[in-house]
Amino acid sequence: MATVLEPPTTMTSSRASQRLQQRMAAVRLSFTWLGVRKTLTAEQKAQAAETFGAQDSFLTAGKKLLDTSHQAFKDVTAVRGQIQSYVKNVSLPYPEPGIRLVRQDQLTAFTDQLALYRNQLAEAVAELDGQYHELQSAARRRLGTLYNASDYPSSLLGLFSVEWDFPAVEPPEYLRQISPELYEQEQARVVARFEEAVRLAEEAFTGELAKLIGHLADRISGGSDGKPKVFRDTAVTNLHEFFERFRTLSVRSDADLERLVDQAQLLLQGVEPQTLRENQSSRQQLARQLSAVQGTLEGLLVDRPRRNLIRPARGGEVST
């Protein structure tokens, strides 16, 4: 069973942001990734422009160095996608580029999982490097005179990697001694950032739930011929996973959202995909109920920006 950040009662935005600030850690993920596209030289671009009777200053041209559809390359890319998906699923957004918020009590499990992914990435890169000569030979054939051996490193090892760190989002303590006024300004800025993080979390959860419910409702509502549409089990299981993640990460600041999550979870309690396929009456009833929830969720998405525009944030700023 997931551990929640707060009991079922919802909190004010200010209190929710304080709780978020106390219980979450900022994490930043970064990738080292070999670029596989390169702009043509001025001479090559001029030659290409001449072919089409165009001015080279109005032409953009480039070449692809490696076949990214090769299975070994796709395997490397797949690990990156798994890492990004994992981080998104166990964290909340933060209003600074590249930074997410992870629960402090889950940091050990978080870093352990990232270490496993890093090892998987290294293994996939080693496999890709073993087929690098084949990829280069294919590029030489396909690029013709555009092929340039100097575009290619001697090895791919070390050119694909993932790293992470935990940047400080609080003002440094020494600033309090140097300039108390500046320290207070920075504190107010951090508070405003966490209030914005609460809004971003609410918006992300609302949008995701509306999308998942809308997809399931569409799949089970039936086509124009009255027959049920084909749907995968994931249309149901993805919602159950959402409920679990919401209970784990929710900042519990939006009573309307909490109520709709509870309502959707109750509607899907004990529902099995095969049952929906076999029971037309249950399928149609659930489709109607889910569509009603989806409509309310979409209304929240429309109304939320207006409500936040008029909510003053600390430090004299206005949340948007």
3-state secondary structure string across the chain: CCCCCCCCCCCCHHHHHHHHHHHEEEEEEEEECCCCEEECCHHHHHHHHHHHCCCHHHCCCEEECCCCCCHHHHHHHHHHHHHHHHHHHCEEECCCCCEEEEEHHHHHHHHHHHHHHHHHHHHHHHHHHHCHHHHHHHHHHHHHHHCCHHHCCCCCCCCCEEEEECCCCCCCCHHHHHCHHHHHHHHHHHHHHHHHHHHHHHHHHHHHHHHHHHHHHHHHCCCCCCCCCCCCCHHHHHHHHHHHHHHHHCCCCCHHHHHHHHHHHHHHCCCCHHHHHHCHHHHHHHHHHHHHHHHHHHHHHHHHHHHHHCCECHHHCECC
At residue 53, the pLDDT reads 83
- Residue 6's pLDDT band, with cuts at 50, 70 and 90, is very low
Q: Which of 80-89, 173-182, 279-288 has the highest mean pLDDT?
A: 80-89
- 163, 168, 173, 176: CA torsion to nearest 10: 140
Does residue 282 carry a pLDDT above 90?
no
Mean pLDDT of 291-297: 92
Does residue 121 carry a pLDDT above 90?
yes
Mean pLDDT of 95-121: 96
At residue 302, the pLDDT reads 78
Mean pLDDT of 244-266: 91
- Residue 10's pLDDT band, with cuts at 50, 70 and 90, is low
Pairing relationship of beta strands 62-64 and 91-93 according to DSSP bridges:
unpaired
Does residue 181 carry a pLDDT above 70?
yes
Distance CA 268, CA 240 (A): 8
Does residue 116 carry a pLDDT above 90?
yes
Write out pLDDT tens, residues 201-239. 999 999 999 999 999 998 888 666 666 678 889 999 999
- Residue 5's pLDDT band, with cuts at 50, 70 and 90, is very low
pTM exceeds cut of 0.85: no
Cα separations in angstroms, 242 against 72, 131, 185, 246, 247: 32, 39, 37, 6, 9
Mean pLDDT of 102-126: 97
Mean pLDDT of 123-135: 97
Question: Are 117 and 83 within 8 A, CB to CB?
Answer: yes
